[in-house]
Structure 1
């Protein structure tokens, strides 16, 4: 049986290296185990896949995906962009700062980093090129800024992690605010340095900062910016659960569309179709990864994994260092949501063993897999952004080196300084 699980794991890696779609690669590895195992019925694979999708908390995924899509059709994105540009667009490199602010604020509305990266690549990269930034830098900035989205509530990664690890999704939503804002500030500091260095080629906005313009754009963006407050506040006072918050977000998005008079019936139909496609792809990955996680559990891999770690690592610091190296490597080859479902059952018991706060640990894991989405060879954020901007992957990777270094610094801070992840949770809960 050990040889069979080893062969299944090897085949999973082979499928991934052959660039087989994530869900198909995981299902292929699972099929090998279920078909050739002597005491496991092959039909059990289908049962495990179906049962994994019956968790009520996972309803939040299509809800928040739908809300994010509707937000794009209601003109929310352009209103937030106008507010951000009025706020900081006229400083040196202002459009790059605007890109980061838009990613941060939209992260509180959509929950999907890939969706935000695609949207911002279409809207902001052409404008950044007009202001003197290269296509490569603009693409890297959009992709890196999209890393903020899974950290800011209502990030889909938090919903999946909370479901798998049995951690409060409401607390995860609150915990993500600190790391998300920290990454936003660090990115703006890096952009300020680069803009100052290239001030001869990077031009400012031709619009002068005025309080009147800031106020007018803020009025347009105020209602959308209230959504994260409504979600977190409603969960905290017990008005609704995180799952029900997704339905509230949809209603809120539709109301905004009516107020702004920009949401048409055709947009509703198109948005629902996009929701089905996006949610379906996520749920297929979740069901496939859940079947593989069941195999690992049945073969007692988590217990053996824990025993091996605790045998050679006798301190929390050494464990966190080894964990980050492990997750960064895994995240480079496996899509984050799928990897989370497979890996979290293995590592969550280790965190408990070393006395690590589960909320803090969740932020470390989510940030690792988010960084993996930016990294070659399977970085989904990298590929989505480059497909829109027509940037070469080799140029993207070369230009992204300072951003990789910055993200690693942020990872070290999040890993060894619990305060950004836990201070709001401790304050509110």
Structure 2
């Protein structure tokens, strides 16, 4: 490795600390490397940026983003909230449990953790405050619950990881169900414990009769079928993961017609939102692809592999170091960008140590999901606090038990492979 790649890496971190947009920070690092190597044609940089965003599997991203945006205009959210409340509304901490369940069910529809966090912060935090929850606890719960979204299919992180590491996206979709459900149950246990300790209870009883459960289930049934259609269609070979995104868009439009809540102007606004969101993601992917080429040219993956083989030739130590490293990286670099840069370095190492590729994918995705909640650059934290007006310091203090819980869940995924691979082995 020469001085140029070290300087470029430091420049990228400095730009990120200065809150320069992520794609500019990463692209700036790649440009600086090319500037220090005049023998390299600038055309290579342009080619790498374009090539990084032209992978066929990445076509699924705008499709699923569009489907998620359309879902928000079909009245799906309020139907799922009503269904969740009819199930757990009277348990201690009722509306807190509703928040976790809604995040789990909506994660399979939107695919975007930031979109879910913003929606729940607007809809559920005021309701939680009304029922006695502190603003800080409600804000942290919404932000943490949104971590489930990248894990539950069709998470965008899975599409990106699969396209980079050449891992079956269909298998990753199925593998995400286990970690998503583990986090859902763990959060509900924590909500119940905190609610019991602080006396968070509903001031009035909620109707949780079998009749209301059945009524609300009928309203939520069609949206809840979408993840089943996607996974089932991919498994039986009816369509590819990319084509599944197009199916999801058609299905969301059909729901808009069935529920009669989506207007033509909503479709236009939804398309605009899709373009903006997809463009921001693809810019990051293109820039990160260029920087990943720089690391590959300098043989950084081979250097890291040799370093581990020479000094730390142990799978357990490797996984522990990777977890610590990714948690730190996730605090400063956007997860999708970090994944594009680091997965080509880490996936071969995991293969060398005999770690299942699906399990390792879930560990990496879960790490970066936690990073989205962690200071100083946690995007989920910023989005939620900006909507709920919760001070950042108060948020971080209230989030400590949640961070501990997330680390416990991460260790379970790291050292108990069945949580990630069990369903995949069963279905495939």
In the alignment, does 2:176 pair up with 1:161? no
Q: CA deviation at 1:16?
A: 1.1
Q: CA deviation at 1:39?
A: 2.1
In the alignment, does 2:233 pair up with 1:234? yes
1:245-297 Cα offsets, whole Å, 9 max, x none, are: 00000000000000000110000000000000000000000000000000000
Give 1:175's aligned residue. 175
Seen in structure 2, the aligned counterparts of structure 1 residues 204 and 93 have a Cα distance that, compared at 3 Å, is: farther
Give 2:313's aligned residue. 314
Q: CA deviation at 1:47?
A: 1.0
Give 1:85's aligned residue. 85
1:184-216 Cα offsets, whole Å, 9 max, x none, are: 0000000000111122x5335532321111110
Give 1:52's aligned residue. 52
1:166-193 Cα offsets, whole Å, 9 max, x none, are: 0000000000000000000000000000
Give 2:186's aligned residue. 186
Give 1:252's aligned residue. 251
Moved more, 206-215 or 154-163: 206-215
The alignment partner of 1:226 has SS state of: helix
Q: How is 1:53-68 mapped onto 2 (pairs within 5 angstroms)?
A: 53-68=53-68
In the alignment, does 2:270 pair up with 1:266? no
The alignment partner of 2:54 has SS state of: coil
Q: CA deviation at 1:90?
A: 1.7
Structure 2 gaps of 5+ residues are none
Contact 1:95 1:205 in 2 (8 A): no
Q: CA deviation at 1:52?
A: 1.1
Q: CA deviation at 1:13?
A: 1.1
**TM-score w.r.t. length of structure 1:** 0.99
Contact 2:94 2:201 in 1 (8 A): no
Give 1:75's aligned residue. 75
Give 2:124's aligned residue. 124
Following the alignment from structure 2 to structure 1, what is the Cα–Cα distance between the partners of residues 84 and 205? 15
Q: How is 1:134-145 mapped onto 2 (pairs within 5 angstroms)?
A: 134-145=134-145
In the alignment, does 2:335 pair up with 1:298? no
Following the alignment from structure 1 to structure 2, what is the Cα–Cα distance between the partners of residues 408 and 345? 24
Following the alignment from structure 1 to structure 2, what is the Cα–Cα distance between the partners of residues 319 and 13? 24
Paired residues in the alignment total 428
Moved more, 71-80 or 309-318: 309-318
What do you get for the CA RMSD once the two structures are aligned? 0.9
Give 2:281's aligned residue. 282
Contact 1:320 1:415 in 2 (8 A): yes
Q: CA deviation at 1:38?
A: 2.9
